């Protein structure tokens, strides 16, 4: 029983009472993920931020920020997402989702405010610190806190639960992108070149308010709670444990590192398409008869439309594939991701060479659905192998694979593309080795997933699993 003097943020104050409707939890989780998913829309700021000086006649001698300098902002944010999720995962399990989600809201929105000052002062270091470092910490804590809670509320449908939350992260860009564009157009003027600084302030405050809804509506189930009629492991699988493994022991298991490789390969390959989506589709279109008659603005619009379509399939795949994994099992679902993915990545260069535009678009959409599905299915996979006790902390540590892929993917793609251009290849032909290399990465992921087996009982937590032991 919670003490009346205890803080409203304490875990004890978030324990749901008897008869609480667990379907009230997904909206709280979505409030966090739809907000932090704005990170996927950061590219809409790159062009305006690159013209802050050239658009301001008062500073004719100053230099604009280059695309390469601005790309670092997103990379810092993704690296900090993985690192903060790993570092603060056990803290989250100990203090509960409300305090963790508040920390996420303050860091994520605060990152916008600091970045706004950086834009105003034209200090790139301040933007790196604000949106990249502080905002990235908010991303990491915010990403894992609702996922951990949802898995505890939906032990009978963990794939559906994680899909509901993580599809919000995929959909955040669909809100953040038009919101940012509209705000920059509204604020653009002599006092706010390109309208970026005030847009950052307004978005920071909007997201803070939005995330606070999640903070104060989140609840955790009472110790021993389970859904009515639920029988643990009713659908038997050798991979689904009946015990729990704490985060410190989980990283000592080969299963954790096999899944680390699985996530790394899946994410790096997906980034191979995302990183080059707009210029890639424009190059493919130019190779067709129709493309030869299209104007440059029309090609740019087609590129933007392709990016939007991929974002939609990224979002839908997160819910579809993770929900399907509840029926098929996590390991077979990843076999599909990798097996089908290898075929599609290997097929893509032929479709580009044969100017099969429609088929190429379909292939990329399926690839991106499995990229999103990989993110949404991995928490349920961890829950199967390691139990629910510290699944948030274990998930946080696994997300360092995402941080690695966030750096490795763009570097690999740009290196391969530049290498092909140096050989004199242009257009779609310059991207062919990217797809073949990503297919090779998926072969590694396929093998890693194949090697996943049940966790040895010697790693199991020996104490009694209670609310308190979540932070053991």
Domain boundary among 201, 217, 233: 217
pLDDT band for 355, please (50, 70, 90 cuts).
Answer: confident
* Arithmetic mean of pLDDT, 43-49: 85
Distance, CA of 180 to CA of 69 (rounded, Å):
20
Residues 339 and 451 occupy one common structural domain? yes
pLDDT of the residue at 70: 87
pLDDT band for 12, please (50, 70, 90 cuts).
Answer: confident
Question: What is the Cβ-side half-sphere exposure of residue 443, based on CA atoms within 13 angstroms?
Answer: 9
- Helix (H, G, I), strand (E, B), or coil: what is residue 224? coil
Query: Greater confidence, 423 or 10?
Result: 423
Residues 66 and 113 occupy one common structural domain? yes
* Arithmetic mean of pLDDT, 206-226: 92
- Give yes or no for residue 356 having a pLDDT over 60: yes
| Interval 379-412: pLDDT, tens | 999 999 998 888 889 999 999 998 899 888 888 8
pLDDT of the residue at 56: 61
Residues 53 and 91 occupy one common structural domain? yes
Residues 117 and 169 occupy one common structural domain? yes
- Give yes or no for residue 231 having a pLDDT over 90: no
Distance, CA of 68 to CA of 64 (rounded, Å):
11
pLDDT band for 202, please (50, 70, 90 cuts).
Answer: very high
Distance, CA of 121 to CA of 124 (rounded, Å):
9
124 inside domain = yes
* Arithmetic mean of pLDDT, 346-369: 88
Residues 277 and 363 occupy one common structural domain? yes
Residues 313 and 167 occupy one common structural domain? no
Chain CA centroid to CA 238, Å: 29
Counting residues of the chain whose pLDDT is more than 90, the rounded percentage is 45
Residues 190 and 276 occupy one common structural domain? no
Counting residues of the chain whose pLDDT is more than 70, the rounded percentage is 92
Closest CA to 166 of 472, 380, 400, 354: 380
202 inside domain = yes
The count of domains in the chain is: 2
Distance, CA of 294 to CA of 282 (rounded, Å):
10
- Give yes or no for residue 368 having a pLDDT over 60: yes
Domain boundary among 198, 217, 236: 217
300 inside domain = yes
What count of other Cβ atoms lies within 10 Å of the Cβ of residue 82?
Answer: 25
pLDDT band for 16, please (50, 70, 90 cuts).
Answer: confident
Given a contact cutoff of 8 angstroms between Cβ atoms, the answer to whether 204 and 109 are in contact is yes
What count of other Cβ atoms lies within 10 Å of the Cβ of residue 235?
Answer: 10
- Give yes or no for residue 44 having a pLDDT over 70: yes
Residues 116 and 211 occupy one common structural domain? yes
pLDDT of the residue at 5: 36
Residues 273 and 173 occupy one common structural domain? no
Residues 192 and 283 occupy one common structural domain? no
Distance, CA of 220 to CA of 200 (rounded, Å):
33
| Interval 288-299: pLDDT, tens | 756 566 777 787
What count of other Cβ atoms lies within 10 Å of the Cβ of residue 470?
Answer: 26
- Give yes or no for residue 6 having a pLDDT over 80: no
pLDDT band for 265, please (50, 70, 90 cuts).
Answer: very high
For residue 174 the two structure tokens come to 């669909």
6 inside domain = no
Angle of helix 357-386 relative to helix 277-286, nearest 10 degrees, comes to 150
Residues 401 and 454 occupy one common structural domain? yes
What residues make up the domain containing 349? 247-471
Residues 153 and 208 occupy one common structural domain? yes
pLDDT band for 166, please (50, 70, 90 cuts).
Answer: confident
pLDDT band for 60, please (50, 70, 90 cuts).
Answer: low
Instruction: Return mean pLDDT, the chain.
Output: 86
Burial class (CB in 10 A: 0-12, 13-18, 19+), 228: exposed
181 inside domain = yes
242 inside domain = no
Within 8 A by CB and 6+ apart from 336, the residues are 328, 370
What is this structure's pTM? 0.84
pLDDT band for 72, please (50, 70, 90 cuts).
Answer: confident
Closest CA to 337 of 303, 375, 299, 282: 375
- Give yes or no for residue 472 having a pLDDT over 50: no
Burial class (CB in 10 A: 0-12, 13-18, 19+), 354: exposed
384 inside domain = yes
Q: What is the DSSP letter of 169?
A: H
- Helix (H, G, I), strand (E, B), or coil: what is residue 192? strand
* CATH number of residue 118's parent domain: 1.20.1250.20
222 inside domain = no
Domain boundary among 217, 234, 265: 217
């Amino acid at each position: 029983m919670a003490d009346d003097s205890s803080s409203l943020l304490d875990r004890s104050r978030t324990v749901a009472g008897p008869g609480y409707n667990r379907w009230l939890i997904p909206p709280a989780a979505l409030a966090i993920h739809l907000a932090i998913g704005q990170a996927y829309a950061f590219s809409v700021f790159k062009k305006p931020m690159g013209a802050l000086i050239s658009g301001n006649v008062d500073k004719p001698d100053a230099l604009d920020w280059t695309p390469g300098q601005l790309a670092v902002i997103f990379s810092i944010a993704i690296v900090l997402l993985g690192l903060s999720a790993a570092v603060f995962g056990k803290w989250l399990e100990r203090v509960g989702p409300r305090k963790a989600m508040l920390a996420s809201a303050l860091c994520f929105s605060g990152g916008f405010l600091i970045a706004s000052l950086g834009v105003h002062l034209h200090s790139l270091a301040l933007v790196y610190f604000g949106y990249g470092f502080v905002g990235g910490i908010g991303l990491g804590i915010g990403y894992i806190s609702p996922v951990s809670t949802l898995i505890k509320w939906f032990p009978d449908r963990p794939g559906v639960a994680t899909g509901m939350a993580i599809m919000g992260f995929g959909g955040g860009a669909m809100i953040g992108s038009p919101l940012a564009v509209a705000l920059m157009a509204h604020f653009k003027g002599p006092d706010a070149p390109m309208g970026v600084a005030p847009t950052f302030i307004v978005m920071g405050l909007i997201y803070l308010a939005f995330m606070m809804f999640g903070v104060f509506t989140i609840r955790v189930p009472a110790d021993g709670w389970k859904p009515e009629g639920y029988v643990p492991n009713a659908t038997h699988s050798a991979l689904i444990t009946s015990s729990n493994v704490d985060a410190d022991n989980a990283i000592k298991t080969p299963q954790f590192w096999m899944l680390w490789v699985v996530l790394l390969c899946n994410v790096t390959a997906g980034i191979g398409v995302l990183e080059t989506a707009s210029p890639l589709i424009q190059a493919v279109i130019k190779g067709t008869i129709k493309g030869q008659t299209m104007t440059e603005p029309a090609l740019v619009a087609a590129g933007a439309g392709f990016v939007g379509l991929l974002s939609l399939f990224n979002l839908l795949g997160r819910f579809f594939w993770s929900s399907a994994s509840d029926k098929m099992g996590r390991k077979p679902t990843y076999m599909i991701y990798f097996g089908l993915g290898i075929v599609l990545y290997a097929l893509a260069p032929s479709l580009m060479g044969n100017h099969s535009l429609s088929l190429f678009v379909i292939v990329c959409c399926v690839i991106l659905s499995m990229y999103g599905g990989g993110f949404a299915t991995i928490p349920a996979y961890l829950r199967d192998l390691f139990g629910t006790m510290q699944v948030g902390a274990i998930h946080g540590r696994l997300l360092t694979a995402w941080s690695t892929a966030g750096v490795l993917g763009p570097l690999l793609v740009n290196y391969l593309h530049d290498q092909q251009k140096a050989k004199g290849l242009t257009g779609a032909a310059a991207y062919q080795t990217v797809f073949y290399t990503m297919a090779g990465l998926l072969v590694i992921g396929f093998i890693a997933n194949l090697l996943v087996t049940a966790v040895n009982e010697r790693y199991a937590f020996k104490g009694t699993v209670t609310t308190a032991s979540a932070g053991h």
